[in-house]
């Protein structure tokens, strides 16, 4: 069951002027399950995209990257299907992804190159193109500004809870809104994951600023989470700026408005990223891993991920077993040059567990046990060799993870 | 249940002249469980050791490395306890490890620095030194040449099957014998694992040659296996040469005898390493991952390990589900520079699964299904960009892995 994660109420999700969303049931997945989403954007909307670094990237990722790279054709629509990833599908898959864009373009009256395609689901099966084409008119007919929650539901795969977050900030007296959705609960790893996220704002700002914010937000949200260490073929995060809030455009990157907007968008992205982990396949605990006092951000990240990826650590969390030596072992093999294990400290929430190369003299098993029983736990490692730090969010490894992934296709 | 792995018969294990083994029950583990092993070596025996690269290495690893580095004190004995790893135990742990060596030395009449200590079990708990000291006289009294199988049983932790392999080769008419034991079934990763292995030969050869063979054998056996990607704090592989076979000493590294002996010892080590995977925690399948045609051995290894570590791939094997796109995804994120996914081929045993960036036109689901149902499966990736290759052995990820590791201490 998802860890402290509830579906948002529709009223909590503010529409974004210039963005409409339409959903449909194209029968790619089970009957009764929405599996198609179209997002339409007003002319003048800036769009920035961040994609998976997997070399086996899916056909829609190839096409989305291609379409985003043609400045003459501003993006006017996104199409997302679930149930099939259109990955490992070779040249046929590329053609299929293009064909879905062409059909959306035809229905909306724009160019094929103004449409970005996205797919998520099973890999290495041909995309059911006919079903998608047949489902598109209903999705387009459904386009509405207040469809964010339905959109969040339509992009779910093994997700249990739809993920959507909305936030409002003020530029002087002008309200500026940010609303986003995300999906993903397995194959989650830094460098994106089987995750899709779409965040829109009505703030007026330039395309380069939007891109910079997309990078910053990704680095501090979707690239900070891991469920199983698998990096997917299809990950994408799209940031859209319609510019219709009525604010005077953000002046430059040094302005207070830029920082305010960047931080608000990053917070929305981080909440969506954390929601993905809370809904991680089989997750029963939400774990924050914080590594401080490192010589570099990179070594802090490495250490945090070594802990977050260790199946032994993750099963210990599942069992609420303070078998904390497993965390020490993971720190030890994280690959930090010249690490002196006698210098570091390990905390579980506020409990000092280890120092001087071994168990802390003040540590009592019942204190560790108390924290391990919580549904939210912070592991804090203080390396005491510098000022850098890094945080990673992850979940435990349970029977249900194996169950879900051993039966995904059946 | 272990995959196609049976305990060896005592008669299959040849004694090694100059090596005696004694076991005892020191009550570190459950009642009725042998948990202490002493190996005594004749004067003149050469010893080489390979150890974990974990920075949080256990106290016995620190001491064993130290004692091996003093050429004036030839190693005369090894002491191994299970049930407690003496890792993450700080300075106290170091003192405890030394104290066990001192007691063995006193009982056998040698110097403390001629004894190597080894521990395996729970991390970050103080070593029950008193129990070990109390158990040692019984282990020493038990020293016998034909005790290899009992020794293999005494070093087991979560292992189900004792692991021991013996082999005889001939140098002209002189038989030369190699016998080895190993333990380990979880926390198994390249760069050693929670594994201990002791291999002895009666072949006469120099210390530098023995060390070179130990390195070669490790690289092609224990460093080629992974169960869960965790590198332990305590891994060690010790190779011992008593020189009592009566062969004329191996002349040099270019000789046929050197190659023959190196390959035979490597084969014993590889069989022990594979036995560890076959007995992997919760394993139901034995998977060989073979990557060929790579630009370098390193990129082949990276690819093989990316596949071997993917929980998604491992759960698919457990479910006998040919969800083979997960393997493509793992290849894609293995981190190979400029990988062209359209060039590679993926085989499952003899079945061509993918080429040209997608599913092979000849591939039929029932062929993939047939192979996935086997208990032994070879995944073969042909990168078609060079001549290098690498092989890794691993197992699937099952409910039982989670069960075993969620309840290890209880």
Q: Looking at this predicted complex, what is its ipTM?
A: 0.74
Gap between the Cα atoms of A164 and A35, Å rounded: 17
Catalytic annotation, pick one of A45, A194, A242, A266: A194
Strand ranges, E, within A76-146:
77-84, 115-122
Beta bridge partners of A178: A167, A201
CB contact under 8 A, A409 and B321: yes
pLDDT of A410 reads: 40
Nearest-CA residue of chain A relative to B91? A357
Q: What pTM does this model have?
A: 0.82
With contact defined as beta carbons under 8 Å apart, do B205 and B265 qualify? no
CB contact under 8 A, A88 and B325: yes
Nearest-CA residue of chain B relative to A346? B88
Average pLDDT over residues B147-169: 94
Gap between the Cα atoms of B6 and B333, Å rounded: 37
Average pLDDT over residues A273-278: 92
Least confident of A122-126, A187-191, B138-142, B270-274: A187-191
Which of B87, B189, B336 minimises the CB distance to A325?
B87
Confidence band, pLDDT 50/70/90 cuts, at residue B157? confident
CB contact under 8 A, A326 and B407: no
Question: What percentage of chain A has pLDDT greater than the value 70?
Answer: 94
Least confident of A80-89, A128-137, B145-154: A80-89
Mean pLDDT (chain A, rounded): 91
Residue B389 has pLDDT above 70, yes or no: yes
CB contact under 8 A, A321 and B409: yes
The pair of three-digit structure tokens given for residue A171, joined into one six-digit string: 């530029």
Query: What are the chain B neighbours of A399 within 8 Å (beta carbons)?
Result: 399, 402-403
Mean pLDDT (chain B, rounded): 91
Which of B315, B321, B331 minimises the CB distance to A402?
B315
With contact defined as beta carbons under 8 Å apart, do A163 and A190 qualify? no
Of B228 and A132, which is predicted with more confidence?
Answer: A132
Residue B70 has pLDDT above 90, yes or no: yes
Query: What are the chain A neighbours of B97 within 8 Å (beta carbons)?
Result: none
Query: What are the chain A neighbours of B89 within 8 Å (beta carbons)?
Result: 357-359
CB contact under 8 A, A328 and B401: no
Count of CB contacts below 8 A, A vs B? 223
Q: B172 φ, ψ to 5°?
A: 55, -120
Give the number of other Cβ atoms within 10 Å of residue A388's Cβ.
17
DSSP codes, A301-335: HHHHHHHHH-HHHHHHHHTT---THHHHHHHHTS-
pLDDT of A404 reads: 66
Calculate helix-pair angle for A256-278, A207-219, nearest 10 degrees.
40
Nearest-CA residue of chain B relative to A399? B399
Q: Which of residues 352-371 of B touch A (CB under 8 A)?
A: 354, 356-359
Which of B232, B329, B397 minimises the CB distance to A329?
B232
Task: Please write down the HEC assignment for all residues of chain B.
Answer: CCCCCCCCCHHHCCCCCCEEEEEECCCCCCCCCCCEEEEEECCCCEEEEEECCCCCCCHHHHHHHHHHCCCCCCCCEEEEEEEECCCCEHHHHHHHHHHHHHHHHHHHCCCHHHEEEEEEEECCCCCCHHHHHHHHHHHHHCCECCCHHHHHHHCCCCCCCCEEEEEEEEECCEEEEEEEEEECCCCECCCCECCEEEEEECCCCCHHHHHHHHHHHHHCCHHHEECCCCCCCCCEEEEEECCCCCCCCCCCCCCHHHHHHHHHHHHHHHHHHHHHHHCCCCCCCEEEEEEEEECCHHHHHHHHHHHHHCHHHHHHHHCCCCCCHHHHHHHHCCCCCCCCCCCCEEEECCEEEEECCEECCCCCHHHHHHHHCCCEEEEEEECCCCCEEEEEEEECCCHHHHHHHHCCCC
Nearest-CA residue of chain B relative to A56? B332
Q: Give just the sign of the alpha carbon dihedral B199, B205, B208, B209.
A: negative
Give the number of other Cβ atoms within 10 Å of residue B52's Cβ.
26
Query: What are the chain A neighbours of B56 within 8 Å (beta carbons)?
Result: 328-329, 331-333, 341, 357
pLDDT of B227 reads: 66
Gap between the Cα atoms of B260 and B264, Å rounded: 6
CB contact under 8 A, B56 and A187: no
Query: What are the chain A neighbours of B397 within 8 Å (beta carbons)?
Result: 311, 402
Residue B146 has pLDDT above 60, yes or no: yes
What's the pLDDT tens digit per position in B212-249? Answer: 999 999 999 998 887 655 667 788 999 999 999 999 99
Gap between the Cα atoms of B182 and B137, Å rounded: 24
Residue B362 has pLDDT above 80, yes or no: yes
Q: Are strands B286-294 and B376-382 parallel, antiparallel or unpaired?
A: parallel
Q: Which residues have a Cβ under 8 Å from the Cβ of A293 and sit 6 or more positions away?
A: A382, A383, A384, A385, A386, A387, A388, A389
Q: Measuring CA to CA, which residue among A208, A210, A150 is closest to residue A178?
A: A210
Catalytic annotation, pick one of B177, B194, B201, B266: B194
- The answer to whether A231 is a known catalytic residue is no
Distance from CA of B341 to the nearest CA of A (A): 6
pLDDT of A64 reads: 97
Residue A214 has pLDDT above 60, yes or no: yes
């Amino acid at each position: 069951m998802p860890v402290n994660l509830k579906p948002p109420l529709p009223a909590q999700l503010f529409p974004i002027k210039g963005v409409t969303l339409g959903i449909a049931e194209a029968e790619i997945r089970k009957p009764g399950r929405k599996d198609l989403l179209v997002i339409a954007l007003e002319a003048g909307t800036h769009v920035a995209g961040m994609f998976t670094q997997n070399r086996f990237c899916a056909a829609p990722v190839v096409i989305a990257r291609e379409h985003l790279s043609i400045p003459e054709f501003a993006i006017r629509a996104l199409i997302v299907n679930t149930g099939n990833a259109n990955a490992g599908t070779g040249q046929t898959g590329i053609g299929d992804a293009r064909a879905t864009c062409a059909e959306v373009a035809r229905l909306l009256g724009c160019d094929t190159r103004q449409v970005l395609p996205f797919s998520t689901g099973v890999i290495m099966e041909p995309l059911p193109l006919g079903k998608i084409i047949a489902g598109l008119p209903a999705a387009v007919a459904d386009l509405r500004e207040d469809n964010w929650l339905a959109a969040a539901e339509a992009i779910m795969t093994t997700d249990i809870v739809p993920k959507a977050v909305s936030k409002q900030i003020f530029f002087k007296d002008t309200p500026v809104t940010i609303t986003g959705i995300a999906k993903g609960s397995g194959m989650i790893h830094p460098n994106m994951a089987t995750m899709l996220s779409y965040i829109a704002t009505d703030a007026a700002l330039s395309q380069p600023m939007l891109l910079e914010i997309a990078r910053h937000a990704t680095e501090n949200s979707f690239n900070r989470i891991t469920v199983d260490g698998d990096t997917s073929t299809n990950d994408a995060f799209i940031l859209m700026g319609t510019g219709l809030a009525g604010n005077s455009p953000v002046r430059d990157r040094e302005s207070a408005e830029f920082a305010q907007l960047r931080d608000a968008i990053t917070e929305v992205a981080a909440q969506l990223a954390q929601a993905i982990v809370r809904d991680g396949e089989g997750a029963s605990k939400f774990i924050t891993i914080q590594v401080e006092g490192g010589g570099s951000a990179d070594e802090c990240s490495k250490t945090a991920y070594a802990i977050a990826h260790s199946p032994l650590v993750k099963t210990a969390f599942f069992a609420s077993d303070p078998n904390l030596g497993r965390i020490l072992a993971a720190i030890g093999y994280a690959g930090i040059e010249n690490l002196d294990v006698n210098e570091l400290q390990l905390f579980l929430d506020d409990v000092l567990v280890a120092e001087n190369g071994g168990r802390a003299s003040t540590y009592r098993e019942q204190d560790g046990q108390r924290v391990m029983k919580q549904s939210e736990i912070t592991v804090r490692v203080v390396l005491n060799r510098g000022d850098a730090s890094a945080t990673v969010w992850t979940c435990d490894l349970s029977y249900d993870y194996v169950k879900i992934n051993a039966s995904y296709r059946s």
